[in-house]
Structure 1
C-alpha cells in the first residue's frame, strides 16, 4: 500500500512539475494516475478469474487479489487529491461526473474497509458477496466509461495512450464471465447432461 501510494504521488508530482499545476497539468496528472491505479485494480478484479482459467501458473494472482485491491485504494488517494486540487483552481468536473465517479470511490473504500476480517465477519456472507460483486463491477464500469470517453478529434498519441487500457477494461468483465461459466453451475449441469447422454449411447 505504501509503495503504491508513493509511486502514484511521484507520478503526479512529476507531471505537475513538467506541465505546471494549472488545469492542463492537473488533467494530465489525473490521466496518468488513473492509468496506474487501473493496473492495480485490474489485477485485483481479474486475479481470481485468471487463476481459474490458467490454474496453477497464476494462482498467486488470486492469493494477492486483496493486496492489489488495498494498493489500489491507497494509490487512489493521490488521484482524488488531484480532483480536489482541480476544484480548488476553479475547474471542477460536472455534478454528474462527481456523482458517478464519487459512487465508484465510495465503493473502493467500502470494499477496503470490509476487507478487514473482523468487520467482514459482521456481515452476512451472502450480503458481503453481493456488495463485493456490485462494487467491483461498478468500479470496472467507471474505468471503462473513463477510457471510452475519447475526444471528437482523436490523435494518434491519444489512441496509443488509451487503447491498451480500453482493451484491458473490456477484457476484465469478459474474463470474469468466462471464469464463472467454466466454474459455475450452468457449465457443470451442461457437462453432467452431456456425460449422461454419452453414457446412454
Structure 2
C-alpha cells in the first residue's frame, strides 16, 4: 500500500469518528431538551408540544449554520471559514437531532393528537430532504451523483428545509407578545436572514465569474 493510499485511509478513519461524535452529541442534546420539557409539563399533549418546539429550535440552529456558513464566508471573508469547513458536520448533527423531533411527532400521533394531514405532508417532505442530503453526504454516493447533481440536490433540499422552518417561525400570529419575542422572533429573523445571505453570496459569486470570464476573453 502506497503512502498516498495510507494517508487517504487515515483521513477516512478520522472523519468518520468526528462526524459520529457530532451526530451523537446533537442527538443526546436534543433528547435531553425533550426529556426536560416532558418532565416539566408531562408526557401528554402540552408537554409533547413544548418538547417539539424546543427540539425544532435546537435542530434549526444546527441547520442554519450548515445552510449559511458558506454564504457568510463568501460575503464576509475567512473569519467564517471554520464554520464553512464544518458544514457537513453541522448538517449531519441537524439530521441526527431532528430524529428526536420526529420521534415526538410520532408520540403526539400515538396519544391521539396527530397534526393535520397537510402539516404531515409539508413537513414530511422537508424531513425526506433532510435524510436524502445526509445520505448523499457520504463521499462515495456524492461522487456517484456528480458535482452538478450534488449542487442541485443541495440547492433544492436546503432551500426547501429553510422554507419549511420559515413557514413555522413566521406563521405565529401574536406579534409583539412576550411569547413571540422569546420563542419566535430570533428564529424568524434567522429564517429570513439565511436565504438573503445565500442569495447575496450567489450574486457575488456570479459577478466574480462573469468578471473573470470577461478578462479571459477580452
The aligned residue for residue 34 of structure 1 is 56
> How many angstroms apart in 1 are the aligned matches of 2:80 and 2:31?
29
> How many angstroms apart in 2 are the aligned matches of 1:192 and 1:111?
32
TM-score w.r.t. length of structure 1: 0.90
Are 1:130 and 2:152 an aligned pair?
yes
> How many angstroms apart in 2 are the aligned matches of 1:118 and 1:139?
24
Number of aligned residue pairs = 193
The aligned residue for residue 163 of structure 1 is 185
Q: CA deviation at 1:102?
A: 0.3
TM-score w.r.t. length of structure 2: 0.84
Q: Answer whether contact 1:144 1:170 (CA < 8 A) is retained.
A: yes
- Report the RMSD for the aligned CA atoms in angstroms: 1.8
**Runs ≥4 residues deviating over 6 A:** 190-193
Q: Map of 1:4-83 to 2, 5 A cutoff?
A: 4-83=26-105
Q: Answer whether contact 1:50 1:61 (CA < 8 A) is retained.
A: no
> How many angstroms apart in 1 are the aligned matches of 2:116 and 2:67?
28
Q: Answer whether contact 2:69 2:83 (CA < 8 A) is retained.
A: yes
The aligned residue for residue 198 of structure 1 is none
> How many angstroms apart in 2 are the aligned matches of 1:125 and 1:182?
20
Change (3 A) 1:151 1:90: farther
Q: CA deviation at 1:110?
A: 0.3
- The C-alpha deviation readout for 1:118-170, integer Å capped at 9, x for no partner, is 11111132122111100000000000001012145873223322100000000
